[in-house]
Amino acid sequence: MRKLTVLFIMLLLGIHMMYAQQLSIKGTVTDKRLNDPIIGASVLVEGTSNGTITDMDGNFSLKNVSKGNVLVVSYIGYQPQRLTIDDNQTTFRIMLTEDTQTLDEVVVVGFGTQKKVNLTGAVATVDTKTLESRPVTSVSQALQGVMPGLNIDINDKGGRLDYSPSMNIRGAGNLGTGSSASPLVLIDGAEGDINSLNPQDIANISVLKDAAASSIYGSRAPFGVILITTKSGEAGKTTIQYSDNFRWSRPTNIPDMLDSYRFTKYFNAAKANSGSTATFLFSNETIDRIQKYMAGEYPYTSDPNGRQGSTDFFAFNMDSNDNQNWPRNFIDKTSFGQEHNLSISGGSEKVKYYISGAFLSQEGQMNYSDEKKKRYNISGKVNGQVTKWLNLDFNARFIREDISMPTFMKLYGDRFFSETTKLYPTMPLYDNNGHYTRNPKLMQLTSGGRSNSSKDTYFTQGGFHLTPIKGLGIHGQATLRTESYRHQYNVNKVYLYTYDNQPVEEAWLGGDPDLAAGKTFVQSETQQTSMMTTALYADYEHSWNKHNFKATAGMNSEYYYINNLEGKRYDVVNEKVPSINTATGTSNLKAYSKEWATMGYFARVNYDYDGKYLLEANIRRDATSRFRGDERWGTFPSVSVGWNIAREQFWEPIQDYVNLFKVRFSYGSLGNQNADNYYPTYSIQNITVGSVDEGGRWLLEQANKSSIASSPGLVSSLLTWERVTSYNIGIDFGAFNNRLTGYAEYYIRDTKDMVGPAEEISPIVGASAPKLNNTALRTKGWELQVNWQDRIGQVGYRVSLNLSDAQTEVTEYPNLDKTFFTKDSDGNIVDNYWKGKKLGEIWGFKTVGMAKTDQEIQDYIAIHDQSRLPNIGNNIWKAGDIMYANLDDNPAIEKGTSASDPKDLCIIGNSTPRYRFGITLGADYKGFDISLMFQGVAKRDIWVGGDDKTATQKGMIFWGINGGQWDSTGYEEHWDFFRPEGDELGANLNAYYPRPIIDSKQNQQVQSRYLQNAAYIRLKNLQIGYTLPKTLTQKINLQKVRVFFSGDNLWTGSKMSKNFDPELLYQNGMTYPISYTLSCGINITL
């Protein structure tokens, strides 16, 4: 009985103590700066679902809180606070501080980190939130417009699934004569492909812009570095994150064709204007039939009793009466894409881990082509603390990318767009027997063969970090990246059908013997790439009194090896299962291998006194295998200094208003070895084997070996480093408790000893002249970044603006005559350069005006003879023709061939994008958030009308009638052409376009009147999201749930011709379209 009594008493005491430990707390949450109550702040007991939110007055109350619990108070736009509960306090007044981006943040730099406030080089960081939830397939797409100086442009592949945007930092760095001016992209310290990386794996991005910031990477980084650090695990509770993104895309710009009636009238007018004895192209009978068909009074797309078999090219264009809108036939499609991401992270103080997987699927924009892209990403990262002084890292990634599209689109995309641009709307899609007609090239798209490529990338990295004594760190890292690329495509027979339904083999494309009628082949390529990098370095830092010192020194090396094998075989037996083994014709086989290596030693010293006076000095000693032995080593120094004036005593009166004002200057010199492997010459020798008669199948069939090997030609013994020297002056500022932050930069970059062409040598030598270091450039530019973020009550908002400009001038080039054009190694006519030329210069005629009467043009040419202009057909000048300005003493209007003797040519514009800008606006309120990102170019001239160095058809999207009949087209804008009084189509004296003329380009010379203004502003991204309250999500064991809607390229403002997208100007608009995208998704954190 006594024992039971004791137990009963103990039980009562335990219950009493348990309830005594359960506390009820209350409090108020306010803004520390404004002292305003914060409505809707989350108050949560860490690790439980016990929580609440503040009311309209910022008050909260919470029961069942135990001593020792950690209270987490948070709200969007503020830094969270963590409070430990004890018995002595149950009422709280909690003041949250705005989460403004402070300049004391740590920034990743080369082989280390630095406080942003102490940086003296030109280093910028990217807010990785800009990558979240964007409906893009690559990181580089999401980076466009986010910072000044990082220039990302769409290239000649347009929006094709396999395209990678072009990137440079601070403008052009070379002239494309064998070297690269792209920035070095380092992912976790090793070079990698930014576009295959999973955006959700990125923790931070730093961009090193000047030589002082990037010099520690030496000859691999003369034009800047993009440093990407991927996410790592953190000690604590395991975190699981899932996100998805479902997207729908359509082309940004689809120009409409003229309807068939106006098209025929337009072409007939152009034919009549030519002075030809044949005064029309389309007969009255055909035009009458077109009108009846468009009115629904005629049921056929062509004359069923005529000669319109699909093999009759002329008849199907000239005698048919359909009313097609070909641009929309090919690209008016909504494509679907989706992306899924899953990551798991966590660990203890000893071991931390991060594991993620992602899947991306995206369809192409083109009808009839069945284009698909799929990407799989798997990554894992482990960090282990072995002892107090030793940490080990392991990092692994696998990426698989598969792309499938028609062979026609992959390899002959430029021909596809040029062929389809000049289609006539009168031509039917199908003939009277239901077969595709000839001109649209739909047979090539749908049954002409497929291109299938895949690339596997394996990335493994191990590292260690030693801290034997205080302040000293020793670090080592080794990385192996391998890529396995496979690409196979085939060309099948394509058929046309006669009017009586008989098949006829059709040539795949004209001008190529491999694509003649009846030809079939399969081609397969494999390429293995291996990259191995190692780095070993140490750093030491020490502070005393107000002095702060840090030194870093080490070495790193890289080794690259590429092995490529390509085989081709004709006469495919089974076109549905194409392979080299199942083809029976002749074979071609070629292979090459390349390898190169670099090694360098580096050192860096950082010093600052009390954060006021800052100094950084770097030196790099580099070697590369790409040059001969006595030219392989180079030494490249840099130095930068800074003065944080805001820390001076005389600044104290305004310290509360302007808390940072730092001026800095840097100078640095770097070598560029990103050139072809000129040494040793055997490393780029290709052995090409051809047909059986040439012994070309010896590798496959034990035939005789080929006795011919091609080499790169003569190589100069004087070839050495290109040198890139930069000067940079900058200002960093922060004001109003860092609600206002930003920086401004001015820089000069000289690229000297670039590899350029040599003077021609006698053909008796049997080789081209060797390249020499004889070219130089100078780029001048500036950058501005301004950020503001603040809160008004419960509304947080932010505004960011970046603006930059750069111009590049040729300072040395071996072209004393300053000729406008030259020929490249393939014999193509390309732009030439000369000393004093600014890159992007457009030379043309100044336009006096368009003559409105015959008398006006006759009076003008009587004084200024325009008969010497090129490609002017019958030289007939009438009302509606262009009058060109005479700029020299010769009365004739002539086109010069060089800047030394331009005759009547002058600089009419420049195609370099000027004043690139980005504007970001954002706001949040009670879990809702919205952001808008605008991007654009404020000044750019572009000529899209074709010229002497490009094919005639390259200008037809702009001009419509563009010389020959079969190199012309007709879009809605082209209807605004000159028509005199009394014209059957109605007078149009104030037309935009001159009178169209078949077989003449007299009105289409490069000229000021039709120079296009390619400036634009684009709503690059709009995103609206809602984050569910934590008090709700915690009840279902979720930390955070956010749903969102996002859109890319939703609106564009531009004065350019509506036939063009101002971002897509390669090949004068005849390239794959880019798209606008709508998407939605969810982000969940467990």
Nearest to 941 by CA among 964, 915, 960, 959: 915
For residue 531, tell me if it sits in a domain. Answer: no
How far is the C-alpha of 1085 from the C-alpha of 817, rounded, in Å? 66
Given a cut of 90, whether residue 418 has pLDDT beyond it is no
pLDDT band at 765 (very low <50, low <70, confident <90, very high): low
Instruction: Choose one of 275, 304, 328: the last residue of a domain.
Output: 328
* 33 pLDDT above the threshold of 80: no
Are 975 and 1020 contained in the same domain?
no
Structural domain includes residue 277: yes
Indicate if 994 and 1028 belong to the same structural domain: no
Is residue 609 in some structural domain? no
Residue 696 contacts residue 702 (beta carbons within 8 Å): no
| Residue 429 burial (CB count, 10 A) | 14
Q: Which residues pair with 605 in a beta bridge?
A: 551, 617
pLDDT tops 80 at residue 741:
yes
In a domain, 962, yes or no: yes
| 79 shares its domain with 28 | yes
What pLDDT, in 10s, does the model give residues 1012-1064? 999 999 999 999 999 999 888 888 888 899 999 999 999 999 999 999 999 99
- Between the two ends of the chain, the Cα-to-Cα distance in Å is 52
- In the prediction, which pLDDT does 91 show? 86
Q: Contact at 8 Å (CB) between 212 and 666?
A: yes
User: What is the average pLDDT across 216-227?
Assistant: 90
> What 8-state DSSP symbol labels residue 684?
G
880 lies in the same domain as 1028: no
**CB of 505 within 8 A of CB of 517?**
yes
**Which secondary structure element, helix H or strand E, spans residue 854, and what is its range?**
helix 854-863
Domain assignment present for 1036: yes
Q: 602 - beta bridge partners?
A: 554, 620
Which helix (H) or strand (E) segment holds residue 613: the answer is: strand 613-624
Separation between Cα atoms, residue 682 and residue 686, nearest integer Å: 9
Lowest pLDDT segment from 79-93, 535-549, 907-921? 79-93
Domain boundary among 1009, 1034, 1052: 1009
Average pLDDT, the chain: 87
Same domain, 90 and 51: yes
Q: What are the pLDDT digits (tens) for 657-713?
A: 999 999 999 999 998 876 565 444 433 344 444 443 344 444 444 444 443 344 455
Residue predicted with more confidence, 638 or 1033: 638
CATH number, domain with residue 79? 2.60.40.1120
Identify whether 48 is part of a domain. yes
- Determine the Cα–Cα distance for residues 239 and 225; give it in Å rounded to an integer: 32
| DSSP state letters, 131-157 | GTT---SSHHHHHTTSSTTEEEE--TT
| Cβ-contact 331, 409 below 8 angstroms | no
Pair 77, 40 in one domain: yes
Q: How far is CA 1037 from CA 49, 754, 831, 1030, in A?
A: 7, 61, 64, 10
pLDDT confidence of residue 688: 44
Between 507 and 727, the more confident residue is 727
**DSSP summary character for residue 304:** T
Do both 1071 and 962 map to the same domain? no
pLDDT on residue 703: 44
| Average pLDDT for 337-341 | 96
Q: Which of 51, 34, 50 is nearest to 42 (CA)?
A: 51
Q: How many CA atoms lie within 13 A of 653 on its CB side?
A: 1
CA distance 832 to 357: 48
SS3 743: strand
Q: How confident is the model at residue 761 (pLDDT cuts 50, 70, 90)?
A: low
Residue length, the chain?
Answer: 1086
Give residue 109's pLDDT.
Answer: 87
What letter does residue 253 receive in the DSSP assignment? -
Q: By C-alpha distance, which of 339, 382, 378 is closest to 356?
A: 378
Q: Which residues neighbour 829 within 8 Å (Cβ) at sequence distance 6 or greater?
A: 821, 822, 823, 948, 949
Structural domain ending residue among the three candidates 74, 96, 118: 96
Q: In angstroms, what CA-CA distances link 559 with 343, 595, 624, 650?
A: 32, 7, 10, 53
Helix axes 284-294, 260-273, angle to 10 degrees: 160
Rg (CA), the chain: 34
> Do 959 and 853 share a structural domain?
yes
H/E stretch holding 906: strand 906-910
Q: Torsion-angle region of residue 479: left (phi > 0), alpha (psi -120 to 50) or beta?
A: beta
Q: Are strands 914-925 and 928-939 parallel, antiparallel or unpaired?
A: antiparallel
Is the CA virtual torsion 464, 465, 467, 473 positive or negative?
A: positive
Task: Based on the fold, state whether residues 1038 and 902 are members of the same structural domain.
Answer: no
| The total number of structural domains that make up the chain | 4
Residue 547 in any domain: the answer is no
Q: What pLDDT is recorded for position 416?
A: 81
Q: Check: CB of residue 695 under 8 Å from CB of residue 588.
A: no
Nearest to 333 by CA among 288, 383, 367, 372: 367
**Partners of residue 781 on adjacent β-strands:** 747, 806
Structure tokens at 301: 């797309």
In the Cβ-directed half-sphere of 186, how many Cα atoms lie within 13 Å? 23
Q: pLDDT over 70 for what percent of the chain?
A: 89
Interval 422-451 mean pLDDT: 85
pLDDT band at 514 (very low <50, low <70, confident <90, very high): confident
Looking at the fold, whether 995 and 948 belong to one and the same domain comes out as yes
pLDDT for the residue numbered 1041: 94
- Specify the long-range contacts of residues 518-521, CB closer than 8 Å, at least 24 apart: 518/493, 519/491, 519/493, 519/570, 520/490, 520/491, 520/492, 520/493, 520/570, 520/571, 520/572, 520/575, 520/583, 521/490, 521/491, 521/568, 521/569, 521/570, 521/571, 521/572, 521/583, 521/585
Q: Which pLDDT score, from 0 to 100, does residue 529 have?
A: 96
**Choice between 700 and 413, residue whose per-residue pLDDT is larger:** 413
CB 395 within 8 A of CB 458: no
**225-230/184-187 β-pairing:** parallel
What is the token pair recorded at 1059? 């036939």
DSSP reduced 3-state for 584: coil
**b/e map of 218-238 (b: 16 or more CB within 10 Å)?**
bbbbbbbbbbbbbbbbeeeee
Spatial distance between the Cα atoms of 895 and 901, rounded to a whole number of angstroms = 9
Asked if residue 557 has pLDDT above 70, the reply is: yes
Least confident of 119-128, 686-695, 784-793: 686-695
How far apart CA 33 and CA 77 sit, in angstroms, is 13
Does one domain contain both 883 and 1019? no
What is the three-class DSSP state of 232?
A: coil
pLDDT for 100? 56
More confident residue, 497 or 944: 944
Q: What is the dihedral of CA 850, 854, 857, 858, to 10 degrees?
A: 180
Same domain for 981 and 1069, yes or no, is no
pLDDT grade for 966, boundaries at 50, 70 and 90: confident
Q: Label residue 620 by pLDDT band (50, 70, 90).
A: very high
* pTM listed for this prediction: 0.88
In order, the DSSP letters of 403-452 are EEEEHHHHHSHHHHHHHHHT--TTS-SB-TTS-B-STT-HHHHHHS-EEE
Q: What is the DSSP string of 71-121?
A: EEEE-TTB--EEEE--TT--EEEEEEPB----TTSEEEETTEEEEGGG--S
Report d(CA 480, CA 462) in Å as an integer.
Answer: 9
Least confident range of 212-221, 586-595, 752-761, 909-918: 752-761
- DSSP, collapsed to helix, strand or coil, labels residue 582 as coil
174-210: per-residue pLDDT in tens? 885 555 688 999 999 999 999 999 999 999 999 999 9
Mean pLDDT of 935-955: 83
CB 933 within 8 A of CB 946: no
Report pLDDT for 675: 59
| Torsion, CA 1072, CA 1004, CA 1000, CA 264, rounded to 10 | 60
Q: Has residue 954 got a pLDDT over 50?
A: yes
Alpha helices, H only, 179-254 = 211-214
Cis bond before residue 222 (omega within 30° of 0)? no
Domain hosting 67: range is 14-96
Which range, 13-17, 213-217, 241-245, has the best average confidence (pLDDT)? 241-245
Q: Which of 163-172, 610-619, 1077-1086 is the least confident region?
A: 163-172
Q: Assign 3-class secondary structure to 767-785.
A: CCCCCEEEEEEEEEEEEEE
893 is a domain residue? yes
**Phi, psi angles (nearest 5°) of residue 284:** -60, -35
Q: pLDDT category, 430, cuts 50, 70, 90?
A: confident
Check residue 630 and give its pLDDT: 79
- The stretch 209-237 carries a mean pLDDT of 89
Q: Where are the beta strands (DSSP E) in 648-794?
A: 658-672, 687-689, 722-735, 740-756, 772-792
